[in-house]
Structure 1
Amino acid sequence: MHIDQLLATVDEQAAQPVTRMSIAAGWGQGRTVFGGITAALAFRAIEKRLAAPRVLRSLTTNFVGPLASEQEFEINVDILREGRSATQALASIVQNGKTTTVCQACFGDARPSKIAVQDQRSHHMPQPAKANFLPQIPKVTPKFLRHIDLAKQEGGWPFTGKRHHTIGGWMRFKQPPANISDAHLIALIDAWPPTILQMLKWPAPASTMSWNLEFIHPHRPVSGENWFAYQALTRQASDGYGHTEADIYDSYGELVAISRQVVAIFD
């Protein structure tokens, strides 16, 4: 099922107090649904319940427990506050009576301001010509990557025993969506493996505990066929937890999002 079909399922229930749906096994990641698509659907449910469209500034997601594919779940939304220019909202995903995911979204419309600081960061990765895609290895490569192209240019793939702990490359959907919304970008950004997994020589379970995304505005519109650049580093890792940060750029080289994650690893 294409990501646009999943988002459309949420859109169709916008008038309902609770969104009910399931996700096919093709979006799986081990024993749970891919976290990026989970967060994207929770965000979309929030977005559809706003009184009016607003600009997403940040999304914080806590992955509380596994969300099983092929089983119905519900998305509950609570609009905490809607002010003149800002909105805070909360979404929770519940399956079989247990909360699996919690997302808090912060929206803020543009306002006149004398403060203007332009981001000066950039990357130096050329767009893929002959892409170094993540290989599809049965029972190793997550199923959801059938939907997403990752073209790595820096760092290593998981479980290759590298000494470094950074990753850089490009990403896009294999089948271009009709347009790139914030929900699409949320799903894309989470597709990359944690930076620390490349340091291991054999497979080990790992999961994101919390994930914070900050969205940079304004930025230019992009099409569903555009590549997005991704550069991630490990800030610190010990005691079975890693703290990572990533910058995400559009195909014009402009920063569009900043990602921060706490990853638990069971090696």
Structure 2
Amino acid sequence: MSSHTLTEVLESRTPQGDGLSYPVPSNWMQGRTTFGGFSSALMLDAVRARHKDLPPLRSALVNFTAPIGTSPIIGTEVLRQGRNVTIINARAQIDGKVAAMATFSFGHPQDSHVAFDRPAKPAEKPEDTGPYFPPDLPRPPIPFLQNFDVRLVEGALPFSGAEKGYLRLWARHNDPRMWDRMEGLISVADLPPPAIYPTLKKPGPNSSMNWIFNVLAEDIQTRDGWFLLEHHLTAGRDGYSSQVMRVWNTEGDLVVDGMQSVIIFV
């Protein structure tokens, strides 16, 4: 496959042994591997395809262990199915070796008097915000970015020598069929470059090691598919960085709260 939407990729999955095989189009690549949000979405789709009637997704632990450059076969395993929470593991394998794995926790809503939130800081509407990439760029610098509409709210471009690693973006899938799907939200949430990149003065490769995120809303509806993303560098040394990653809907409700470790080869 050369260029296909995430919807088309998910619809193209085929049974392969005890797992599901997914195509890897070139427009979802970044270097020699697929975009991490894409790989995570595939693993979630495999879990939901194999295990029906799951409660809402509440949390995920994702590890990126090797490049995914060809079609992975994703197997799943129920680790625990309790009265409230079901925990399922997914493994994406290539040639019998694990390339990525994720543990997804699904949970029924609970009666609770606890209600805390972290509303989004004020931001211009997406349609009033300029593009993240310079308008004279013929195409996005990384293939997978062509699948998204991305607008800059606050922060600097990668490798601009900025004083802080901070970025706020409006982003949505170009494919409206992904606007209200959890797989679509996951792939949008991992879209921005590493938060340390604006502080660097020269280009260099990176590799995400893991991604931990919590889903804080059962209803992920948002106006016209737009989500407000915030990536904040918390620390970086010895070639490794840690960042906080948050996602709000257009009403300012926090829907994803996460953290990621990124290897920086600079």
TM-score (norm 2): 0.91
CA distance in 2, matches of 1:137, 1:65: 31
CA contact (8 A) 2:54 2:106 kept: no
What's the offset of the Cα at 1:137? 5.3
Change (3 A) 1:157 1:257: same
CA contact (8 A) 1:241 1:264 kept: yes
- The runs of 4+ residues in structure 1 deviating greater than 2 Å are 130-140, 217-223
Q: In the alignment, which residue of structure 2 is the partner of 1:26?
A: 27
Q: Does 1:132 align with 2:131?
A: yes
Q: In the alignment, which residue of structure 2 is the partner of 1:94?
A: 93
What's the offset of the Cα at 1:144? 0.4
Change (3 A) 1:236 1:151: same
Q: In the alignment, which residue of structure 2 is the partner of 1:35?
A: 36
Residue aligned with 2:121, SS: coil
What's the offset of the Cα at 1:16? 7.0
Q: In the alignment, which residue of structure 2 is the partner of 1:151?
A: 151
What's the offset of the Cα at 1:150? 1.6
What's the offset of the Cα at 1:222? 3.2
Amino acid at match of 1:37: F
| Map 1:45-60 → 2, pairs under 5 A | 45-60=46-61
Deviates more, 1:165-174 or 1:42-51: 42-51
CA distance in 1, matches of 2:194, 2:47: 27
Deviates more, 1:143-152 or 1:123-132: 123-132
Change (3 A) 1:212 1:240: same
Change (3 A) 1:156 1:179: closer
Q: In the alignment, which residue of structure 2 is the partner of 1:242?
A: 241
Q: In the alignment, which residue of structure 2 is the partner of 1:78?
A: 77
CA contact (8 A) 1:148 1:172 kept: yes
Q: In the alignment, which residue of structure 2 is the partner of 1:7?
A: 10
CA distance in 1, matches of 2:139, 2:225: 29
Deviates more, 1:100-109 or 1:226-235: 226-235
Residue aligned with 2:39, SS: helix
TM-score (norm 1): 0.91
CA distance in 1, matches of 2:8, 2:220: 25
Q: In the alignment, which residue of structure 2 is the partner of 1:185?
A: 185
What's the offset of the Cα at 1:162? 1.2
What's the offset of the Cα at 1:156? 1.0
Change (3 A) 1:122 1:178: closer
CA distance in 2, matches of 1:60, 1:185: 16
Q: Does 1:62 align with 2:63?
A: yes
CA distance in 1, matches of 2:82, 2:138: 49
Gaps of 5+ in 2: none
CA distance in 1, matches of 2:220, 2:178: 16
What's the offset of the Cα at 1:178? 5.5
Match of 1:118 among 116, 126, 132: 116
CA distance in 1, matches of 2:122, 2:193: 21
1:52-106 CA-partner distances (Å, limit 9, x unpaired): 13110011110001110xx332001111111122100101111122211011101
Residue aligned with 2:197, SS: helix
Change (3 A) 1:123 1:144: same
Identity of aligned residues (%): 27
CA distance in 1, matches of 2:150, 2:54: 31
CA contact (8 A) 1:60 1:103 kept: yes
Q: How many residues align?
A: 261
Deviates more, 1:119-128 or 1:190-199: 119-128
Q: In the alignment, which residue of structure 2 is the partner of 1:202?
A: 202
